[in-house]
Each structure stands twice: as structure tokens, then as C-alpha cells.
Structure 1
């Protein structure tokens, strides 16, 4: 599970066993978790985050979308 970024207590990372899925990023903070597709910035699944937190997380992913996508391709080839 390589961590690729941290901000405001959020940890952005990949699971190393998901190379056959479209590029995405997992984000955790405390017990809450969310998975966001990097191409569309849509939420794949979420548990424990409130709507306003999800909006903020999507904003962060959007700001770093190119970097996260590059990291995905570097890691998974």
C-alpha cells in the first residue's frame, strides 16, 4: 500500500493488488475511507465521511489528479 500523498490528516494511497482496475486513489482519515476514480473524479465507494468532507477530498484529488495518475502508472506500469 504505497502512500503517495498526505494533507490535513488525509492519507492518499494505492492498494498494490488492484492493477486491473482503472486508475483510482484510496483516502483514509481515522476510521473513514473513500475510493475515487482518477479519470472521472467520481466516488467509487465511501464509508464514514460526511458530504462536505467528500467535497473537500474530491477538490484535493482534482488539484493533484495529474500527479496521482502519474504515480499510478509509475507503480502499476
Structure 2
């Protein structure tokens, strides 16, 4: 389970067996967890799963993902050799 970064209590990661899926990222903080699909072409994200996310936490993690968009895409491509 490669971790991309830790920031503001969030762990941003992906699972090593998900290389056949489109680019996405998981995030976890306390008992909150979520998954966001990454659309590299239009530089956008879409929430796939959100568990126990408060509106404030959802806004925070979306901001973190957008601020680290290039790092997330690069990490995925390097890991999965895509």
C-alpha cells in the first residue's frame, strides 16, 4: 500500500493491486476514509467513496488532492509503470 504523502493528519495512498483501475487515490484520517478518481486530462477529481467525512473534512481533502494533483499522478504512473 504505497503512501504518497502525509499532510494535516491525512494519509494519501493507493493499493498496490489496483494498477488495472484508472488513476485514483485513497485518503484516511482517523475514522474517515475516502477514494477519489483522478482525471488527468481535465485536471479534475470525483469522489468515489466517502466514509464518515464531515463537510469540512471533504473540503479539506479535496483541496489537498488538488494541491498535490501532479504528485499523485506522477506517483501512480511511476509505481504502475503506466
Does residue 54 (structure 1) correspond to residue 79 (structure 2)? The answer is no
Instruction: Give 1:61 shift.
Output: 0.2
- Residue 71 (str. 1) matches residue 70 (str. 2): no
Provide the TM-score with structure 2 as the length reference: 0.89
* Alignment of structure 1 residues 19-38 onto 2, 5 Å: 19-38=19-38
What are the ranges of 5 or more consecutive residues in structure 2 without an aligned counterpart?
Answer: none
- TM-score relative to the length of structure 1: 0.94
- The offset of 1:73, in angstroms, is 0.4
Aligned Cα root-mean-square deviation (Å): 0.8
Aligned to 1:14: 14
- Give 3-state SS (helix, strand or coil) of 1:42's partner: strand
Q: 1:20 aligns to what SS in structure 2?
A: coil
Between the two proteins, the alignment pairs up a number of residues equal to 77
Tell me which stretches of 4 or more aligned residues in structure 1 moved more than 6 Å: none
Task: Write 1 or 2 for the structure with the bigger share of strand.
Answer: 2
